[in-house]
């Protein structure tokens, strides 16, 4: 018996059907991969946010009233910050874990500042620094557009707006003293605002335990 093969038209139709099925399958796979990538990015962003605020929360909870001397020998307050200060936020904290039993204090001086669109945290291995003292620096959060801090000097100044939200408009934006002057007492609380490229403005309030 004579064997009959496919005609050119049948081959073209089969190729067109195969190409269509492949395109549909690729579109579905691409959507799944894109969704997985977006989910991974959201997870990484959430992890970085949680890590940054966990460090901030820990440092604020462990704040102590211990002024330090800078590399020029000037006394700096236990807490200072704002646009007029050397860094956005600097404070002394307790509870620096010493698992290796090194000859150092359990107190630590930490700095928070904004640089190259990122939130940084730095700390010094000694409280009263020498001229050549270099900090240990870590990037906490990328994609940060602004870091603003306001300070509450006393509880009597606390007020609420019409929506019963804490009104911080009258709070000082800087907390520091001139070099060589006596350090000022720390504020009782502060508001920290982070403006992120993707999430907008985030606000956090911290009450300093050593202020009472």
Average the pLDDT over each of 16-20, 34-38, 132-136 and give the range with the smallest value. 34-38
pLDDT classification of 22: cutoffs 50, 70, 90? confident
Q: Looking at per-residue confidence, does 3 or 153 come out higher? A: 153
What count of residues does the chain have?
A: 212
**Gyration radius of the chain over CA positions:** 28
Q: Which two tokens stand for residue 33?
A: 């991969």
How many CB atoms are located within 10 Å of the residue 8 CB? 7
Using a 10 angstrom Cβ sphere, with 0-12 exposed, 13-18 middle and 19 or more buried, the burial of residue 47 is: exposed
DSSP 8-state secondary structure symbol assigned to residue 175: B
What's the pLDDT tens digit per position in 116-172? 999 999 998 888 887 667 888 999 999 999 999 999 988 877 877 777 778 888 899
Asked if pLDDT for residue 5 goes beyond 50, the answer is yes
* Beta carbons of 111 and 87 less than 8 angstroms apart: yes
What's the pLDDT tens digit per position in 94-124? 977 776 666 667 899 999 999 999 999 999 8
The full 3-state SS of 36-68, as one line of letters, equals HHHHHHHHHHHHHHHHHHHHHHHHHHCECCCCE
Q: Which two tokens stand for residue 159?
A: 């007020």
Q: Which two tokens stand for residue 175?
A: 């907390």
Cα–Cα dist 109/114, whole Å? 17
Task: Give residues with Cβ within 8 angstroms of 137, minimum separation 6.
Answer: 120, 121, 122
Q: Which two tokens stand for residue 143?
A: 């994609």
Asked if pLDDT for residue 93 goes beyond 90, the answer is yes
Helix (H) / strand (E) element for 30: namely helix 8-61
Cα–Cα dist 139/175, whole Å? 24
Task: Give residues with Cβ within 8 angstroms of 66, minimum separation 6.
Answer: 78, 92, 107, 127
For 85-210, list the strands marked E by DSSP. Answer: 89-93, 108-115, 118-124, 136-142, 144-152, 189-196, 200-207
């Amino acid at each position: 018996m004579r064997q009959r093969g496919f005609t050119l038209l049948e081959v073209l139709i089969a190729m067109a059907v195969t190409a269509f099925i492949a395109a549909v399958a690729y579109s579905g796979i691409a959507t799944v991969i894109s969704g997985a990538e977006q989910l991974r990015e959201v997870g990484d962003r959430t992890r970085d946010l949680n890590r940054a605020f966990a460090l901030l929360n820990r440092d604020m909870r462990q704040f102590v009233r211990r002024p330090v001397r800078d590399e020029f020998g000037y006394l700096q307050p236990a807490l200072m910050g704002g646009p007029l200060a050397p860094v956005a936020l600097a404070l002394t904290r307790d509870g620096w874990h010493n698992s290796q039993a090194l000859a150092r204090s359990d107190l630590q001086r930490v700095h928070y500042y904004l640089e190259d669109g990122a939130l940084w945290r730095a700390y010094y291995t000694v409280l009263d620094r020498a001229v050549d003292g270099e900090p240990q620096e870590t990037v906490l959060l990328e994609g940060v557009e602004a870091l603003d801090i306001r300070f509450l000097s006393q509880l009597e100044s606390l007020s609420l707006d019409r929506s019963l939200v804490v009104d911080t408009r009258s709070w000082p934006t800087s907390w520091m003293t001139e070099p060589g002057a006596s350090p000022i007492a720390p504020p009782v609380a502060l508001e920290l605002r982070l403006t992120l490229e993707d999430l907008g403005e985030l606000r956090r309030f911290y009450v300093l335990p050593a202020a009472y």
